[in-house]
Amino acid sequence: MNQPVSSLPEKDIQYQLHPYTNARLHQEVGPLIIERGEDIYVYDDQGKAYIEAMAGLWSTALGFSNQRLIKAAEQQLHTLPFYHLFSHKSHRPSIELAEKLIEMAPVPMSKVFFTNSGSEANDTVVKMVWYLNNALGKPAKKKFISRINGYHGITVASASLTGLPGNQRGFDLPLPGFLHVGCPHHYRFAQPGESEEQFADRLAAELEQKILAEGPETIAAFIGEPLMGAGGVIVPPRTYWEKIQRVCRKHDILVIADEVICGFGRTGQMFGSQTFGIQPDIMVVSKQLSSSYQPIAAILINDKVFQGIADQSQALGTLGHGFTGSGHPVATAVALENLKIIEEENLVEHAAQMGKLLHTGLQNFSDHPLVGEIRGCGLIAAVELVGDRVSKAPHQTLGTLGRYMAGRAQEHGMITRAMGDAVAFCPPLIVTEQEVGLILERFGKALDDTTHWAR
């Protein structure tokens, strides 16, 4: 039976089950309670300030105190706090946001479907593609191919797309029909002497072998992040996406770009698809779409995909899929204002400039005995720590260095995220040159602490 508790940390331990958290460990260590945010900083309940070097969860493009976004939410709450998009209903914010996204898309797109999260969006994509292929008379063409270490969400279908063991162990995932091919991480998985282009050739050949072994008539789609986020900020090798797309087109396989982390400036261009030369049939966006001031995600589909779905909805009488919060008026109003600010303040160009400063500064650590690889693109980066630079082996077990380093960074007033031993940086797009300097300084202090501890 729960005993009465008084403090907020005690109440948190008593009543809340946290995502992505060791529940038993949490009972021992308790929470870091964040009380408020301002620009790129968040403050705990003791008043301590932290640079949020992960933009929350890769997502607060405009930081934590943008008054225009707050005002947009407030105005919409006064006007129409909720309505739905079911059965021919609509409202102004969702219409205008859909129009804006189609205008912004890097390749011709036809329609937008709204969900509340990237996980829901990718789950919806799976269902839409199944629905489409049933309409096209291809009932066997249902399998999805993604990559080892890719991240596409945590619902049953999207976690099956995901290629990270931590999201599948204990959950009886992935489901049948969800296949995975190699991770495009040259530093870890290239053969000795293999160039990036040769590595890309091998990965494309592996994909084609997988398709042929399963039967092209059974493979519906290939999904990938332009640049892998939660898998460790993995930048694809040169020519990778060109070669992967060529294989997909050859075998009539849809290409899906998961832009949940990459979209809206993170890679130094508006979309990761532009940075890496992807021409997707379907795009999924979320996170920086609203700077996470409201939960929202969007699926953009091209006309070929739309026509098949539309025909099937007519044949069956409806598209029997949707969420209460799909295209929520407050979320779409905030997202629309967010995109206006990103454009008006030239934040994509600013992110590219700040990204150069961040990457240049991180390169100063490249000879450090614990640093294996420094990687990234635009305003997203990772430093992979190793126990041995020659063998690339971890110190003790995988994740030991990363966990310790993230803890030390927090002590020094900076929140990062360790994915295994890769420590990530993904600050809000509004970060300044001075603040990039502070990120580098606090990283250096945490790295020094980690070095002394490892010795």
Residues 341, 66 contacting (CB under 8 angstroms): yes
Among 243, 236, 251, 275, residue whose Cα is nearest residue 150: 236
pLDDT for position 1: 54
Q: Which two tokens stand for residue 298?
A: 């969007």
Whether residue 53 contacts residue 413, with contact meaning beta carbons closer than 8 Å, is answered with no
Binning pLDDT at 50, 70 and 90, where does residue 4 land?
confident
Confidence of residue 398 (pLDDT cuts 50, 70, 90): very high
| DSSP H/E element including 16 | none
Task: Classify the phi-psi angles of 298: left when phi > 0, otherwise alpha if psi is within -120 to 50, otherwise beta.
Answer: beta
- The model carries a pTM of 0.96
452's tokens: 């002394």
Q: Model confidence over 290-341: pLDDT tens digits? A: 999 999 999 999 999 999 999 999 999 999 999 999 999 999 999 999 999 9
In this structure, the chain runs to a length of: 455
Bond from prior residue into 174 cis (ω within 30 degrees of 0):
yes
Per-residue model confidence (pLDDT) at position 6: 83
Residue 258 predicted with pLDDT over 70: yes
Fold of the 69-344 domain: Aspartate Aminotransferase; domain 2 (3.40.640)
Q: Residues 375-378: contacts with CB within 8 Å, 24+ apart?
A: 375/187, 375/233, 375/234, 375/235, 376/233, 376/235, 376/425, 377/227, 377/235, 377/267, 377/268, 377/275, 378/265, 378/266, 378/267, 378/268, 378/269, 378/275, 378/351, 378/352
What pLDDT score does 455 carry?
Answer: 87
- The predicted-structure confidence for 228-237, as pLDDT tens digits, reads as follows 999 999 999 9
Contact 241, 201 (CB under 8 A): no
pLDDT at residue 389 in the model? 94
How far, in Å, CA of 285 to CA of 101, rounded?
10
Q: Which tokens in the block code for residue 242?
A: 């060109």
Q: How many C-beta neighbours within 10 Å does residue 261 have?
A: 28
CA–CA gap between residue 153 and residue 330 (Å, rounded): 23
- Give the residue extent of every domain in the chain: 32-65+346-454, 69-344
Picking from 57, 157, 121, 158, the residue whose alpha carbon sits closest to that of residue 326 is 121
Q: Which residues, 6 or more positions from 20, have their beta carbon under 8 angstroms from its beta carbon?
A: none
- Per-residue pLDDT band for 161 (boundaries 50, 70, 90) equals very high
Which CATH architecture describes the domain 32-65+346-454? Alpha-Beta Complex (3.90)
